[in-house]
Amino acid sequence: MTDYYGILGVDRDTSFDEIKKVYRKLAREFHPDVNPDPKASDKFKEITTAYEILSDPEKRQRYDLGGDPFSQFSGGQNFGFGDIMDAFFGGGGGNRGPRARMRAGQDALIRVELDLAEACFGAERELNLETAVACEKCSGSGCAPGTKPNVCAICKGRGETQQVTRSIIGQVMTSRPCAACQGYGSVISDACNECAGDGRVRSRKSIPIKIPAGVETGNRIQMSGAGEVGPGGGPAGDIYVEIVELPHDFLVRDGNDLHISIVIPMTSAALGTKVSVETLDGSREVAIKSGFISGETIILKDLGMNKLRGHGRGNLIVHVEVTTPNKLNKEQEELLKSLAKSRGESQDDVEIHHRGGAHSSGFFGRFRDAFNR
């Protein structure tokens, strides 16, 4: 029985990654395009067969159990309808022929944090990232200057090899990607020493981005072609910038509207006053009418968020809470009693407002209405 582990010079418990590394080293040494020795071609076929078996989990298992690695019946394996289809159509009927070395680069997702003002009015940022760019030395070909890939001597440029296997319906021909050229149909014998044949290198670059007004958490901005360059000098992927909006100290966002809560004393609510409210556009003076009820709101139009799609802005909704003093000195207590007496009020007076009655638009009115629905 052929010792495929011995051919590659590895142990039986060697991992797939290590086997792949050893094979590549031996393939570069014995490839007919590189090694003129007449025996090199036979040696190359031998190590390629060993790699084909030991890199395939099923074949390796059958081989380790003492069976024929190319047989569908060894090691208790059942040959089903799917295996028959694979035998006829080469493992799923994919595209035949060599695969292109030039492939598109991967997309990337980058999260950018914005404060509320930046989300409202827009912002400009610089994205500093390390990514793959085209190798300038070989212009993305992966070959040393003045050279080009050679047609694979094993598959003759087809990118796949064929073999005959036995099945319940007789002998069938199967096609697999060529292990010698990895399915490319060609071999880079003299790789670029800058990119090691990949056609790209790692580099840091800065990309400016303009973030539109009105964005919010979860919005994504697509930057086409700004991602990493693909292998073999392939087209660059895209960068998706995802917005993460940071919480504000006192403003709360609800779509295009903003909310703010302020607290005023009972006397200000009773007599009326003017208060200064901080907005994204600076301070704004808000008039509190006399007799203001705790929980009511004041709407400041067009002081909310810019609309991402469309024109205009949302509103700033000011929630006003009226505080009642819980500690009174003797003089203050007497003053309140005097006020209550002059208004004909008693500490035992309770007024119940029915739904739709006076003050039903206040906070407690809305709460009661919601409860009674």
Q: Measured between alpha carbons, how far is 37 from 141 in angstroms, rounded to an integer?
A: 28
What is the predicted pLDDT for the residue at 272? 94
Q: How confident is the model at residue 307 (pLDDT cuts 50, 70, 90)?
A: very high
Residue 282 zone, left/alpha/beta (φ > 0; ψ -120 to 50; rest) = left
8 A C-beta contact, residue 49 and residue 154? no
Q: Measured between alpha carbons, how far is 229 from 236 in angstroms, rounded to an integer?
A: 4
Q: How confident is the model at residue 176 (pLDDT cuts 50, 70, 90)?
A: confident
Torsion of CA 339, 344, 345, 349, to 10 degrees: 180
Q: Measured between alpha carbons, how far is 263 from 98 in angstroms, rounded to an integer?
A: 73
Fold of 252-364: HSP40/DNAj peptide-binding domain (2.60.260)
Average per-residue pLDDT for the chain:
83
Q: How confident is the model at residue 370 (pLDDT cuts 50, 70, 90)?
A: very low
Q: Measured between alpha carbons, how far is 73 from 147 in angstroms, rounded to an integer?
A: 46
Between 252 and 169, the more confident residue is 252
Q: State pLDDT tens for residues 327-360.
A: 889 998 888 889 888 888 776 666 665 554 444 4
pTM of the model: 0.61
Q: Measured between alpha carbons, how far is 27 from 187 in angstroms, rounded to an integer?
A: 11
What is the predicted pLDDT for the residue at 69? 76
Q: Measured between alpha carbons, how far is 169 from 86 in angstroms, rounded to an integer?
A: 13
Q: How confident is the model at residue 135 (pLDDT cuts 50, 70, 90)?
A: very high
Q: Where are the domains of the chain?
A: 1-78, 252-364
128 sits in which H/E element:
strand 123-134
Rounded to 5 degrees, what are φ and ψ at 218?
A: 100, -20
Fold of 1-78: Helix Hairpins (1.10.287)
Percentage of the chain lying above the pLDDT 90 cut: 50
Half-sphere exposure of 344 (CA within 13 A, CB side): 0
Q: State pLDDT tens for residues 75-95.
A: 333 333 444 344 444 444 444
What is the predicted pLDDT for the residue at 87? 40
Query: Which residues are 255's β-sheet partners?
Result: none
Q: Is pLDDT of 160 > 50?
A: yes
Q: How confident is the model at residue 191 (pLDDT cuts 50, 70, 90)?
A: very high
Compute the average pLDDT of residues 98-126.
93
Compute the average pLDDT of residues 259-265.
95
Token duo for residue 184:
């490319």
